[in-house]
Structure 1
Amino acid sequence: MSTLNHLIDEIKERWTSIMYAFFDPNPTLEEENGRKYVEFKCLGKNCRQTKRRYLDTADSMSTGGLRKHVISCWGKEVLKRASTADDIEQARDKVIIPYRESGTLTTAFAWKGKGKPTYSTRQLTKIQTKTEIVRWICEDKRPMKMVKDRGFLCLMKSGRPDYYVPSPSTVSQDVKQVFIKTRSHIARMLQESESRISLQMDAWTSPNHKAYVGFVASFEDQGKKRVIVLDIVAVPKVC
């Protein structure tokens, strides 16, 4: 078994195709009647299929069979989006896993990939509108009351006066929901990490003379360094 494990590690080093991102990152190497084969398990939410690739054939590194399954299971649009990633890990983390778990605000964020952002020709659904507004408010640090601005509503509703725009209170609830879900996800990630976790802190004073302390966790995840901000705390004044 140790020999097989060593062999699969050597084989995986030669895998660069995005097709591998749609399958479990830890495939198994099996042997049947003296023939070795790699067994790939699809990451599709309701997919139970596995794909075998025998190592004693001329096309033992071909991804044609994997591609055919990806298109039938995930669709060409998801494959096209994943293909814009820099590598297998990025495609799996930014496109495939969020797509598989889509349906909630925290997993419906669309990843734009490399190059200029692209925009759909279809009108956003209600959940997509809420998602994009939460992302806009958080990424660009906008006040939630902006969704009631006359100019914003004019841009959103002109030509489609019935278009749904959430209220500031709804946006606030959605942001809190995303925060709670994200916090739980980060906590689970840190608890399940096999890497050592390095905790750092940094203190500074803002231009308005308020003091803050930030807490950051650094660790290794699937061979890559991750740095996550855990909290930023305002330091009370000492009289």
Structure 2
Amino acid sequence: LSEYATERLMKGWTSPIYAFYNPTFRIGYEGGRRYHAFQCAAKGCKKEVRRFLNGSNATSTSNLIKHARKCFGKDTVERAKEYGTAATARDELASELNDYKPATITASFKRQSDKGAVSYMHRQHTKTETRCLIVRWCAKHGRPFKIVKDEEFLILMKTGRPTHYVPSPATVSRDVRQAFVNCRRRVAALLQNYDGKLSFESDCWTSPNHHPFMAVVVHFEHKGQPLTMLLDAIILPKVRSLNLPHV
């Protein structure tokens, strides 16, 4: 395309989402199809979002929005929409867009492949996001709540950003309890409204220190996938031996 045609084409791209990409674009071909390629503006990100021109999505911004949310965060993308145009959003968010660098904190635990790849974001977490991730970390891996006060942990979290928020052990404890209450409520609603068969199972055992335990689990199918949930694990007050007759 000529410089005039390119400039005229870009004048029609006024959506604020273009603020998260370099002002210029590249034209390429793949399998005989022409596309426009937009380079992400985040420092260190080499992602190039392609938009093919031979279909109904020739002017779609859905893939641009999807990647921008991954790099800059949903809140920043939503805030850009308030500015109305790409030019205004680029000016208002200039300091944020220019300062973004690849982060070293996991932004999402969603698995991208069977190999366990984890995605990262280009901004620090908010206070709420930090609290949520620490709750998940402690619950999933059995970490003690007071780990957030470990000197080495604080060095990792605050080096280069000394004002970064880290919750106290008391806050982590309260958040874990609240997360458990919410999770229990959702599981109860799921099982009570389940339109199908539920298979319950119990298992009893004695720990090495001679404490008897019993666990109750439920098996069912959810969205085509088999699921198993631990409903409860309790210490039994008494243990009785039961001799069953041979059948």
TM-score range, shorter chain: 0.5 to 0.7
Inter-CA distance 215–154: structure 2 relative to 1 (3 Å threshold): same
Tell me what 1:56 maps to. Answer: none
| Residues 1:219 and 2:220 are matched in the alignment | yes
- State the Cα distance separating 1:65 from its structure 2 match: 6.1
Distance 1:230 1:185 in 2: 12
Tell me what 1:185 maps to. Answer: 186
Indicate conservation of the 8 Å contact 2:216/2:232, yes or no. yes
Distance 1:150 1:117 in 2: 26
Tell me what 1:77 maps to. Answer: 67
Q: Counterpart amino acid of 1:169?
A: A
Inter-CA distance 192–77: structure 2 relative to 1 (3 Å threshold): farther
| Residues 1:196 and 2:197 are matched in the alignment | yes
Larger radius of gyration: 2
Distance 1:68 1:125 in 2: 33
- State the Cα distance separating 1:227 from its structure 2 match: 1.2
Indicate conservation of the 8 Å contact 2:108/2:119, yes or no. no
Cα RMSD for the two superposed structures: 3.1
Inter-CA distance 162–119: structure 2 relative to 1 (3 Å threshold): same
Inter-CA distance 151–190: structure 2 relative to 1 (3 Å threshold): same
Distance 2:204 2:187 in 1: 22
| Structure 2 length-normalised TM | 0.53
Distance 2:126 2:120 in 1: 14
Runs (4 or more) in structure 1 with deviation over 4 Å come to 64-70
Distance 1:218 1:79 in 2: 36
| Structure 1 length-normalised TM | 0.54
Distance 1:128 1:191 in 2: 30
Indicate conservation of the 8 Å contact 2:131/2:167, yes or no. yes
Deviations 1:180-214 (A, max 9, x none): 11111111111111111111101122233322111
Indicate conservation of the 8 Å contact 1:210/1:234, yes or no. yes
Indicate conservation of the 8 Å contact 2:215/2:233, yes or no. yes
- State the Cα distance separating 1:151 from its structure 2 match: 1.4
Aligned identity (percent) is 41
- State the Cα distance separating 1:70 from its structure 2 match: 8.9
Tell me what 1:159 maps to. Answer: 160
Deviations 1:104-150 (A, max 9, x none): xxxx9642331322322321111111111111101110110111111
Gap regions ≥5 residues in structure 2: 1-54, 71-106, 241-247
Indicate conservation of the 8 Å contact 2:217/2:231, yes or no. yes
Inter-CA distance 76–109: structure 2 relative to 1 (3 Å threshold): closer
Distance 2:188 2:124 in 1: 35
Tell me what 1:233 maps to. Answer: 234
Indicate conservation of the 8 Å contact 2:217/2:228, yes or no. yes
Report the secondary structure of 2:119's partner residue. Answer: coil
Gap regions ≥5 residues in structure 1: 1-63, 81-107
